Amino acid sequence: MGKKNRRRIKITGTGFYVPDKVLTNFDLEKIVDTTDEWIVARTGIKERRIASEDKAVSDLAIEASWITLKNAGLKVEDIDLIIMATSTPDTIFPSTACWVQKGLGADHIPAFDISAGCTGFLYGMILAEGLILSGINKRILLIGGELLTKVTNWKDRNTCVLFGDAAGAVILEESDDGSGMLSYYWKADGNLGNLLFQPAGGSRIPATAQSVAQDLHCLQMKGNEVFKHAVKRMGEAALVALKKAGLTREEVDYLIPHQANIRIIEATGRRLNLPPEKVYSNIHKYGNVSVATIPIALHELNEAGKFKKDTIIVMDAFGAGFTWAAVVYQW
């Protein structure tokens, strides 16, 4: 593992931002017919953060970017590309990455969004590997940010208890010591797109009084179906990526699964035969913040000093599209 003669990219900075406002399960009991007990038992979520009305996802992403740059000891001038993964952009166009670029004053570099649901952060890492190892870019700011509470249907107890707002980021550059991204697996299946989607607001169903009245601008999800696919695909993705890295399940130190539901997280851990202490979860604090879950987990583990030299991490995600991916990483 980590053969020094193979070129890799590595993470040289982590950080995240969540809004201050906390919405607990008890708060939700006052909004829809639900209970703290149901939400905790079925999802593992106790509370989530909610952005204020005047905020857009770029505001969260800009905060996360400043924190990440500071943690990496870098200035804006040191990065040469911004990739923003999000499903809740400020505007359909321009991209949220351009709003972030404006906020950071990063006028010297290109910026664009990727849309791959909750898998967007891992898609971004894979893309960054290609860009850096081909010599196109040297140091990329990759952000995963989501302001899901603005596309949440607060009358639908099936979905409104699940989501929160957050942004996480990393700095990616070429590794000089053999550590970094060892392998990846990525896949999509557009046949299942309408099991988790925001029906209106694009060119299929543009905004009309009717689309608004029917709540078609809110996220819709067939939770049961998504659940089954997520467990199957995340397990598969992690195993394929591990095989590509030439590693066994026993060699994994941390699994960082996308934080959608504690039962999906635990099932993925079992599929990899991992003891619970190797399966990271913070869903109780933030709920499902989609594309931001993995960079937040990376930062929390990094800051807690859990990553030592050669620590093997498997990042694993599933989301709208459907899309799914896994990345095996050696710290």
218 is catalytic: no
Please select the residue that binds ligand ACO; options are 12, 14, 43, 137, rule is CB under 6 A. 43
Which run of H or E residues covers position 197?
A: strand 196-197
Please select the residue that binds ligand ACO; options are 85, 97, 230, 279, rule is CB under 6 A. 230
> If binding is defined by CB under 6 A, does position 226 make contact with ligand ACO?
yes
Please select the residue that binds ligand ACO; options are 2, 110, 178, 223, rule is CB under 6 A. 223
Over the window 146 to 165, marking each residue x when it contacts ligand ACO by CB under 6 A and - when it does not, the resulting string is: -----------xx--x----
- Residue number with CB closer to ligand ACO (118 or 256): 118
How many residues bind ligand ACO (CB under 6 A)? The answer is: 25
β-strands 165-174, 139-147 pairing: antiparallel
* Active-site entry in 98, 118, 160, 218: 118
> If binding is defined by CB under 6 A, does position 121 make contact with ligand ACO?
no
- Residue number with CB closer to ligand ACO (71 or 261): 261
Q: Minimal distance in Å, beta carbon 148 to ligand ACO?
A: 8
| Whole-angstrom distance, CA of residue 114 vs CA of residue 121 | 9
Q: Minimal distance in Å, beta carbon 294 to ligand ACO?
A: 11
Provide the total of helices (H) and of strands (E) in the chain, helices listed first: 11, 13
Say if residues 53 and 88 touch (Cβ distance below 8 Å).
no
Please select the residue that binds ligand ACO; options are 47, 288, 330, 331, rule is CB under 6 A. 288
Q: How crowded is residue 252: how many other Cβ atoms within 10 Å of its Cβ?
A: 21
299 is catalytic: no
| Whole-angstrom distance, CA of residue 163 vs CA of residue 254 | 24
Say if residues 264 and 227 touch (Cβ distance below 8 Å).
yes
Over the window 299 to 318, marking each residue x when it contacts ligand ACO by CB under 6 A and - when it does not, the resulting string is: -------------------x
Nearest residue to 255 via CA among 314, 203, 197: 314
> If binding is defined by CB under 6 A, does position 237 make contact with ligand ACO?
no
258 is catalytic: yes
Q: Minimal distance in Å, beta carbon 59 to ligand ACO?
A: 21
4 exposure class (CB count in 10 Å sphere: 0-12, 13-18, 19+): exposed
Please select the residue that binds ligand ACO; options are 2, 22, 29, 34, rule is CB under 6 A. 34
| Whole-angstrom distance, CA of residue 51 vs CA of residue 49 | 7
Say if residues 299 and 14 touch (Cβ distance below 8 Å).
yes
Nearest residue to 278 via CA among 317, 248, 250: 250
> If binding is defined by CB under 6 A, does position 117 make contact with ligand ACO?
yes
Write out the catalytic residue numbers: 118, 258, 288
